[in-house]
Amino acid sequence: MLRVSRLTDYATLVMVCLGDTGEGVLSAQTLADRARLEAPTVSKLLKQLAQAGLVVSTRGANGGYRLARAPESITVADIVTAMEGPIGMTECSVQPGNCNLEPWCGMRVNWQRINRAIADAFASVTLADMIHAPPPARHATTIPLRVAAGRVS
């Protein structure tokens, strides 16, 4: 299946947690608890998100992370790009020069067209959309454990 990596999925979840809860800085450990993910994993992806400028880190005691911008101005495209690098369906559509077929192959422009459309699709959803989306109808009987996306508990 064509899909984003699990880390990217997790990163989105962590960003939602960060945007959801007021504004104080949250430590990697706290975020891991809220997202039901392993702490080292959360640390790793927060590091990447910080390098990409999507979150701001504070070191030292009582340090942690907070969103660098308002959730409305952070898109899923930002998160995907931070975690996976540029969005490009083929090598040639991002890094020209690696394919000797290039001078002859007309597919490149079409792949670039597709890439652009896909990037737009990711950019059309903001973190705020993710946060405020109406959760699906509650089952009244059970209060579900909050378990990380993709994990089968």
Site residues (CB under 7 A) for DNA?
5-7, 10, 27-29, 38, 40-41, 43-44, 46-47, 50-51, 57-65, 151
Measured on CA atoms in the order 78, 80, 83, 87, is the torsion positive or negative? Answer: negative
With respect to DNA, which residue has the nearer C-beta, 57 or 112? 57
* 102 binding partner (options a copy of itself, DNA, none; Cβ < 5 to 8 Å by kind): a copy of itself
Q: Which of 18, 127, 29, 34 is nearest to 66 (CA)?
A: 18
How far is it, in rounded angstroms, from Cα 85 to Cα 79? 10
* Interactions with a copy of itself, residue window 1-30 (CB under 8 A): 1-4, 9, 12-13, 16
Task: Say whether residue 146 binds a copy of itself (CB under 8 A).
Answer: yes
How far is it, in rounded angstroms, from Cα 49 to Cα 25? 15
Q: 49 is written with which tokens?
A: 């998100």
With respect to a copy of itself, which residue has the nearer C-beta, 20 or 58? 20
* 87 binding partner (options a copy of itself, DNA, none; Cβ < 5 to 8 Å by kind): a copy of itself
**Binding residues with a copy of itself: total (CB under 8 A):** 63
CB 45 within 8 A of CB 10: yes
